[in-house]
């Protein structure tokens, strides 16, 4: 470890201790202060643009710094942004509200903590919407940490006053069957018999001892399925096996990375609704009128996108204008000889 | 204990982010611990879920002796570690390749080829076959034309038996533009996804850990 590194670590520790113990909490910028900050950042970007055209290139750390500011600062701001509702998100909402009270909804949690910022808000809103409409939820996961994410989402959902007042009971109103290894082969076997893949729930209770699923034999006993996916096994496998082979009616919530891959399934009506990334989660919160973290995060998301676009413009301007000025200089140098 | 977990998570988050400045000892420590824990976690998970849960429990409790066939194939796969009889591992491997290929061909052909082709061959100006012309909404008409033209020109681009010249070359050019726009949309979504992860971490640092966010 160099002396410079050691100094940097000490500075970080000092800043952290300052933020943790000396700064009054929570911090919130008023709308005016928020707009002043945005204006200041825009001004600095303009200066960077001009300097870049003049040939003074920006280091990658400056880009990181701006992206970091664009993500962090809006978390303290009180400004909001309009979130238009797309047809694919409305489809999920419509499918849920069309279900009669007591209908059984299967939710498969096929993601792990790294994808939680995008998918956890979807899960929480979906649970809240289902439970507020007296639907029964059957949870499972093809990823080992999926059912644990479901537990976190369910715990949070049960704390909402309108849900807490219903005195919902585990095993009757919702059940977590846990994780099962085997990827798409699990889905395949569930098409014949759920119990063969989930002989017990997450807590080790026998399948037949759970009133909610005792009579659920296969997909034909499920009224709607919602799938949260971050990769393989994911929505593709669910569509191929559960939807196309067994006729399950299913919507999906995906990380943004794989959303474009799902649109053909949506167009072909293999999926009944699709939530794509954080934007999809925010739209779903709006559709259900249950504003949560996704809506709050969208301001940071938009700011960071603007910064990325700004630096793409700056980079391209530097490339093309710099190229022209280089040619001019070369021509001038050639003319002089 | 929860506070300790939060501080530990914050320590690792900051350690990983420190790489943005440059490679350093803190980052290396966090990276090594992450790799080690991941390997250990997956080993334990797969052991208890596969070998214990799906094999041992079912043999001992449900007497499902058919599983012994699968277990034997699994053991044969491990024979690669003994070079003189390593060739035996080709048998289970060929079983896995054959079974997986068979399953995937059916699944992909049904879901990703047949259904998709059916939905590309849609009437351009009507809601469905037999409906009057222009009965579809303007949004659907534009969508249908884009999908049909994009698919056709995309296929033209990948047709290499004829030189890409003249009208054919023009269509191929539209095809490659369509493909590029698709890649662009995919990349845009990827940026959104990565930013979401960063937002989640920053919310943890400034909210859950430091308590600065309301």
**A133-155: pLDDT as tens digits:** 999 999 999 999 999 999 999 99
- A240 and B112 in contact by Cβ < 8 A? yes
- What length does chain B have? 214
Q: Judge whether B198 is closer than 8 Å to chain A, CB to CB.
A: yes
Contacts of A143 in chain B (CB under 8 A): none
How confident is the model over B114-130, as a mean pLDDT?
Answer: 82
- Compare CB distances from B199 to A71, A239, A243 and report the shortest one's residue: A71
Q: Mark whether B139 and B209 lie in a shared domain.
A: yes
Q: Mark whether B134 and B214 lie in a shared domain.
A: yes
As a whole number, the mean pLDDT across chain B is 91
Q: Judge whether B81 is closer than 8 Å to chain A, CB to CB.
A: no
Give percent of chain A above pLDDT 90. Answer: 77
Q: Vertex A105, ends A99 and A108: CA angle to 5°?
A: 145
- Compare CB distances from A301 to B192, B201, B207 and report the shortest one's residue: B192
Q: In chain B, which residue's Cα lies nearest the Cα of A265?
A: B116
Q: How far is B42 from chain A (nearest CA, A)?
A: 9
Asked if the structure places residue B113 within a domain, the reply is: no
How confident is the model over A77-85, as a mean pLDDT?
Answer: 91
Indicate the range of A146-155, B87-96, B132-141, B198-207 predicted with least confidence: B132-141
Contacts of A250 (CB under 8 A, 6+ apart): A224, A225, A226, A227, A238, A239, A242, A243, A271, A272
- Compare CB distances from B193 to A64, A118, A300 and report the shortest one's residue: A118
Q: Phi, psi (5° rounding) for residue B43? A: -65, -50
How confident is the model over A27-49, as a mean pLDDT?
Answer: 93
Q: What is the pLDDT of residues A239-292, one digit of tens each?
A: 999 999 999 999 999 999 999 999 999 989 999 999 999 999 999 999 999 999
Indicate the range of A5-14, A173-182, B83-92, B122-131 predicted with least confidence: B122-131
Where is the domain boundary, B45, B64, B83?
A: B64
Q: In chain B, which residue's Cα lies nearest the Cα of A18?
A: B210
- What length does chain A have? 337
d(CA A39, CA A44): 9
Q: How many CB pairs under 8 A join A and B?
A: 143
Contacts of A326 (CB under 8 A, 6+ apart): none
pLDDT band at A8 (very low <50, low <70, confident <90, very high): confident
- A144 and B202 in contact by Cβ < 8 A? no
pLDDT band at B125 (very low <50, low <70, confident <90, very high): confident
Where is the domain boundary, B34, B64, B94?
A: B64
Q: Which residues pair with A224 in a beta bridge?
A: A105
pLDDT band at A23 (very low <50, low <70, confident <90, very high): confident
User: Are the C-beta atoms of A91 and A265 separated by less than 8 Å?
Assistant: no
Interhelix angle A116-132/B166-203, rounded to 10 degrees, is: 80
Predicted pLDDT of residue A335: 56
Asked if the structure places residue B49 within a domain, the reply is: yes
**Is the CATH number of domain A87-291 1.10.60?**
no
Q: Which domain holds residue B6?
A: 1-64
At residue A253, the 3 state secondary structure works out as strand
Q: CB atoms < 10 A from the CB of B143, how many?
A: 15
pLDDT band at B132 (very low <50, low <70, confident <90, very high): confident
Q: What is the CA radius of gyration of chain A?
A: 25
Locate A95 and state its tokens: 């499918």
Q: Is the pLDDT of residue A194 over 70?
A: yes
Q: Mark whether B135 and B212 lie in a shared domain.
A: yes
Q: Phi, psi (5° rounding) for residue A134? A: 60, 35
Locate A299 and state its tokens: 């301001």
| Helix or strand holding residue B146 (H, E) | helix B138-157
At residue B158, the 3 state secondary structure works out as coil
Q: Is the pLDDT of residue B1 over 80?
A: no
- Compare CB distances from A244 to B46, B53, B111 and report the shortest one's residue: B111
Q: Please tell me the number of Cα atoms within 13 Å of A92 on its side-chain side.
A: 34
Q: What is the pLDDT of residues A92-116, one digit of tens each?
A: 999 999 999 999 999 999 999 999 9
Beta strands in A87-217 (DSSP E): 104-110, 136-141, 174-179
The pTM score is: 0.90
As a whole number, the mean pLDDT across chain A is 92
Contacts of B115 in chain A (CB under 8 A): 244, 268, 270
User: Are the C-beta atoms of A288 and A23 separated by less than 8 Å?
Assistant: no
d(CA A252, CA B112): 17
- Compare CB distances from A144 to B45, B115, B209 and report the shortest one's residue: B45
- A27 and B14 in contact by Cβ < 8 A? no
How confident is the model over A49-63, as a mean pLDDT?
Answer: 87
How confident is the model over A55-75, as a mean pLDDT?
Answer: 91
Predicted pLDDT of residue A56: 83
- B212 and A9 in contact by Cβ < 8 A? no
- B111 and A116 in contact by Cβ < 8 A? no
Predicted pLDDT of residue B135: 80
Q: How far is B135 from chain A (nearest CA, A)?
A: 18
Please count the structural domains in chain B. Answer: 2
Cα distances (angstroms) measured from residue A31 to each of A1, A23, A79, A213: 44, 21, 6, 50
pLDDT band at A4 (very low <50, low <70, confident <90, very high): confident
- A257 and B193 in contact by Cβ < 8 A? yes
Closest to A75 measured CA to CA, from B205, B12, B19: B205
Q: Judge whether B169 is closer than 8 Å to chain A, CB to CB.
A: no
Contacts of B214 in chain A (CB under 8 A): 26, 28
Cα distances (angstroms) measured from residue A320 to each of A56, A73, A128, A317: 14, 32, 52, 5
Predicted pLDDT of residue A65: 93
Beta strands in A62-154 (DSSP E): 104-110, 136-141
Contacts of B112 in chain A (CB under 8 A): 240, 264
Pick the residue with more confidence: A23 or B195? B195
Contacts of B34 (CB under 8 A, 6+ apart): B12, B16
- B54 and A76 in contact by Cβ < 8 A? no
Q: What is the pLDDT of residues B134-173, one digit of tens each?
A: 788 888 889 888 988 999 999 999 998 989 999 999 999 9
> Which of A23, A64, A72, A152 is the best substitution to test chain B (most B C-beta atoms within 10 A)?
A72
Where is the domain boundary, B64, B80, B107?
A: B64
How confident is the model over A198-221, as a mean pLDDT?
Answer: 94
- B192 and A268 in contact by Cβ < 8 A? no
How confident is the model over A165-182, as a mean pLDDT?
Answer: 95
Q: Is the pLDDT of residue B123 over 90?
A: no
Residues B178-189 as b or e (16 or more Cβ within 10 Å = b) = beeeeeeeeeeb
Cα distances (angstroms) measured from residue B127 to each of A90, A269, A325, B134, B138: 20, 14, 55, 8, 11
d(CA A95, CA A256): 22
Asked if the structure places residue B102 within a domain, the reply is: no
Please report, in angstroms and rounded to a whole number, the separation of the first and last CA atoms in chain B: 23
Domain boundaries, chain A: 3-79+296-336, 87-291
* DSSP label of A244: T
């Amino acid at each position: 470890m160099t002396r410079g590194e050691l100094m940097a670590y000490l500075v970080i520790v000092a800043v952290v201790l300052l933020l943790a113990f000396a700064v009054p909490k929570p911090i919130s910028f008023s709308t005016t202060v928020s707009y002043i900050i945005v204006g200041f950042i825009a001004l600095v970007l303009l200066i960077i643009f001009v300097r870049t055209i003049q040939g003074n290139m920006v280091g990658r750390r400056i880009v990181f710094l701006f992206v970091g500011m664009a993500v962090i600062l809006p978390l303290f701001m009180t400004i909001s942004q309009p979130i238009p509702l797309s047809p694919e998100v409305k489809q999920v909402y419509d499918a849920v509200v069309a279900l009669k009270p007591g209908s059984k909804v299967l939710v498969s949690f096929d993601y792990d903590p790294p994808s939680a910022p995008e998918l956890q808000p979807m899960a929480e809103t979906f649970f809240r919407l289902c439970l507020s409409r007296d639907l029964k939820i059957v949870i499972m996961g093809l990823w080992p940490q999926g059912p644990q994410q479901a537990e976190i989402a369910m715990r949070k959902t049960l704390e909402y006053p309108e849900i807490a007042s219903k005195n919902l009971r585990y095993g009757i109103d919702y059940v977590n069957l846990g994780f099962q290894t085997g990827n798409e082969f699990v889905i395949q076997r569930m098409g014949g018999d759920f119990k063969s893949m989930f002989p017990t729930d997450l807590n080790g209770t026998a399948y037949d001892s759970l009133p909610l699923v005792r009579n659920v034999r296969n997909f034909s006993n499920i009224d709607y399925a919602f799938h949260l996916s971050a990769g393989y096994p994911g929505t593709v496998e669910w569509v191929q096996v559960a939807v196309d082979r067994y006729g399950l009616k299913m919507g999906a919530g995906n990380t943004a990375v794989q959303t474009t891959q799902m649109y053909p399934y949506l167009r072909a009506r293999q999926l009944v609704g699709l939530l794509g990334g954080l934007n999809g989660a925010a739209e779903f919160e709006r559709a259900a009128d249950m504003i949560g973290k996704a809506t709050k995060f969208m301001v940071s998301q938009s700011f960071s996108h603007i910064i990325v676009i700004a630096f793409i413009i700056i980079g391209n301007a530097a490339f093309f204008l710099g190229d022209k000025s280089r040619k001019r200089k070369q021509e001038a140098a050639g003319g002089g000889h | 204990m929860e506070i300790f977990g939060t501080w530990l998570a914050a320590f690792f988050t900051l350690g990983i982010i420190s790489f943005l400045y440059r490679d350093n000892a803190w980052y290396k420590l966090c990276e090594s611990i992450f790799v080690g824990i991941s390997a250990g976690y997956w080993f334990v998970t797969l052991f208890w879920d596969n070998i214990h849960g799906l094999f041992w429990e079912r043999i001992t409790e449900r007497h499902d002796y058919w599983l012994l066939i699968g277990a034997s194939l699994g053991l044969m796969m491990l024979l690669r570690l003994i070079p003189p009889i390593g060739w035996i591992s080709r048998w289970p491997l060929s079983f896995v390749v054959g079974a997986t290929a068979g399953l995937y061909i059916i699944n992909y052909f049904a879901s990703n080829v047949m259904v998709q082709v059916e939905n590309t061959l849609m009437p351009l100006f009507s809601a469905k076959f037999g409906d009057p012309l222009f009965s579809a909404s303007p949004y659907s008409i534009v969508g249908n034309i884009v999908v049909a033209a994009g698919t056709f020109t995309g296929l033209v681009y990948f047709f290499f038996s004829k030189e890409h010249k003249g009208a054919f070359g023009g269509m191929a050019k539209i095809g490659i533009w369509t493909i590029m726009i698709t890649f662009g949309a995919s990349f845009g979504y990827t940026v959104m996804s990565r930013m979401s992860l960063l937002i989640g971490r920053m919310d943890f640092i400034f909210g859950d850990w430091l308590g600065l966010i309301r």
